[in-house]
Amino acid sequence: MAEQTLPNREGQTVPDVAFRIRRNGEWATVTTDDLFRGKNVIVFSLPGAFTPTCSSTHLPRYNELAPVFRNQGIDSIVCVAVNDPFVMEEWGKDQEAENVLLLPDGNGAFTEAMGLLVDKSDLNFGKRSWRYSMLVRDRKIEKMFLEPQKPGDPFEVSDADTMLRYLDPAAKVPEPIAILTREGCSFCAQAKKMLSEAGYDYAEIPLPHTIRSKALGAIAGAQTVPQVFVGGRLIGGSEELARYLVEQRSV
C-alpha cells in the first residue's frame, strides 16, 4: 500500500453515490439515500470478493450475527467491495449470505470519496478498498473501525464481534448448533422441527450410509442419528435435545 493517511470519518455523512447492482438477474440502481436515510446500517468494506479472509471470516460472521444485530436496532448490513456487480452477485450466492447486501463499488467512487481507496497493485488487484467497518445512523457515521496501517491485509478490528461489542458489550451471541442426520430419519425431522420452533438456527450435516457408522462413532461416540452439538458440546439425540430446550427456556 502506498504511504497515505487513511481518514476516520466519524461524525461526517456518507458520500453521495449511486451504485449499479444486479438484482434477480436484472440491473438496478441504489443510492446513498436508499441505503442510509432514516436507517441504522452497519457497513463493512473489504479488498475483494472470493479472497481468503473475506470469504472465510469477514462476510460469514456478519451474515451469521445478523439476527443479533437486528435485535440491536440495525436495519441492514452492507458489504462494500471494489468489484463489479456480476462478481458480487456470484459471491453472495456462493457464500449464501442472504442477510447481507453485497454492494459493488465497481468504479471505486464510494471508496474514493471515503478516502479509503488504496493501491494493491503488488497483489495484482489495482485500486481496492482498505478494510474497515462503520455504524451509520441516518447517513451520519457514528463509529468507524479502521484496520491499522500495516503491510498486507490486517484484520483486527473490523470484524462483526467487535461491532457487536460496541453496540452492546453485554449482547448475547447464540452458540453455533450443528445436527448430524440421515435421509428419511423421522427423529431427525423431529429434532430439526424442535430447533426451528424454538427459534434456533442450525447447520445440518447429512451423513451418507457409507460413512455414517464410523463418523457417528468418531464424532459423537454414538451409532444413531440425530446427534446435536451446541457450541462444540454434544447434546445428544432428539430426547436429549427436548430436555436441553426446556432447560434453556428456564434460564
- Alpha carbon distance, N-terminus to C-terminus of the chain: 50
> Closest Cα to residue 158, out of 96, 103, 77?
77
Whether residue 79 lies in the annotated active site = no
Chain position carrying cell 451474515: 63
The three cell numbers locating residue 133: 467497518
Pick left, alpha or beta for residue 145 (phi over 0 → left; psi -120 to 50 → alpha; otherwise beta): beta
DSSP 47-62: S-TT-HHIIIIIHHHH
Peptide bond into 104 cis (omega under 30): no
* Distance separating alpha carbons of residues 98 and 91, to the nearest angstrom: 11
* Distance separating alpha carbons of residues 213 and 209, to the nearest angstrom: 8
DSSP assigned state of 242:
H
User: Which residues are catalytically annotated?
Assistant: 54
